[in-house]
Amino acid sequence: MFPMETEKLYYENPFLRQFAATVLSCEEGKGGYLVTLDRTAFYPEGGGQPADHGTLTGVAVTDVHEKNGVIFHTCQEKVEIGTVVTGQIDWERRFDHMQQHSGEHILSGILCELYHCDNVGFHLGADTVTIDYNTDISWEQAMAAEQRANETIWADTPVKILFPTPEELETIHYRSKKELSGQVRIVAFPGADCCACCGTHVLSAGQVGIIKVLSCQKFRSGVRMEILCGKRAWRYLGQVYDQARAVGQQLSVKPVDVGGAVERLSADLLSAKQRAAAMETELFFHKAEVFRGKGDVLLVEPAMSGDSTRRLADVVARTCGGLAAVFSGESGQYHYALVRADGADISALVKNMNAALSGRGGGRNGFAQGSAAASESAVRDFFNNLS
């Protein structure tokens, strides 16, 4: 016999954290025992909102889902049929979900009104909330919507939950992702949104706390927006401030002035790199002069970038007139660059060298570069044996 439809206490009072209920059935299923009750405050997964977690008289509830009006609680232990159990909701998880879900409604309602778009995807993840919209939205537009959404929160108007008749529903302008049948539940945030929704929500807009848009990236025919609400946003902004404060202390500026200080530091660093590159080029030319007309040359140098290693090999090849092989790094790990002045093919040489020196890399037209995992003595032995 299929269990009777479950009374949904979470619709009557989304802030109900503890309740008593009678166990109607308990059957072994995937991930544990599937338990049905005559009434429950556990919200089942649906509408993009994850399921509640908690306990039934101390037994862990790790998942909740609904089928044909019956709510199944996945429990980690068997629960006796006919007993009265005490349900305890993981309130921190539930309230977090309500803050994220309600914040998404407020922001989506405003965006859809301002930019004539639809919310075509919603995922309430463990870290962030992502929302997909079917039109292009700029970062400036997203920021304008974010400001208006937070103004809605500051106004702290009560949330309205309606279960309209079919006739009443025809007179209501509301958002919906799909064609609806049966009893429709309308969730309205006055001044921001009116949407068909089966999820749990805060009682007033102010309980969302804050809405922060993190990103707005091109996605398919529209954009994908990443947001945080409530406690998640507070924690995130706190972490960002702590980082800005730490950077500001290093740069001797206030946290709000970090951006300008970093720009100045970046400009100074670029100028220093350009001066260092000019000095390095001059040093390479002086070093190359020592090998003028000497033929094949092997240089084992201190650690340099791959680009610097290539540039030194190129300059030395021009003066020595033969093969310039430059290895830069420490014994055991090297960047290498090989250049032949005449551009002759060195692919066979590089293949043998990589095999002998545990190297990776290659090239063409008298040039090759890569890395090698070998001792300095092994490098020198390989090239000595070529002559």
3-state SS, one letter per residue, for 279-340 = HHHHHHHHHHHCCCCCEEEEEEECCCCHHHHHHHHHHHHHHHEEEEEEEEEECCEEEEEEEE
Which structure tokens are listed for 89? 């909701």
Where residue 3 falls among pLDDT bands split at 50, 70, 90?
Answer: low
pLDDT in tens, 302-321: 999 999 999 999 999 999 99
- Helix/strand/coil for 256: helix
DSSP E strands: which ranges in the chain?
A: 7-8, 18-29, 32-37, 39-40, 54-56, 59-67, 70-75, 84-89, 119-124, 129-133, 160-162, 186-189, 193-196, 211-219, 222-229, 295-301, 321-330, 333-340, 359-364, 367-372
pLDDT in tens, 52-76: 999 999 999 999 999 999 999 999 9
Look up residue 146 and give its DSSP letter.
H
pLDDT in tens, 147-203: 999 999 999 999 999 999 999 998 999 998 667 778 899 999 999 999 999 999 999
Look up residue 213 and give its DSSP letter.
E
Task: Provide mean pLDDT across the span 241-248.
Answer: 96
Nearest CA to 292 among 271, 318, 263, 269? 318
Task: Provide mean pLDDT across the span 34-44.
Answer: 98
pLDDT, mean over the chain: 95
Pairing of strands 18-29, 193-196: unpaired
Burial class (CB within 10 angstroms; exposed 0-12, middle 13-18, buried 19+) of 236: middle
- Helix/strand/coil for 25: strand
* pLDDT surpassing 60 at residue 2: no
Rounded-to-integer distance, Cα 32 and Cα 138, Å: 46
Question: Could you give the domains of the chain?
Answer: 7-89 (2.40.30.130), 95-238 (3.30.980.10), 281-384 (3.10.310.40)
pTM: 0.80
* Phi, psi (rounded to 5 degrees) for 253: -135, 165
Look up residue 203 and give its DSSP letter.
S
Rounded-to-integer distance, Cα 112 and Cα 281, Å: 57
Percent of the chain with pLDDT over 90: 93
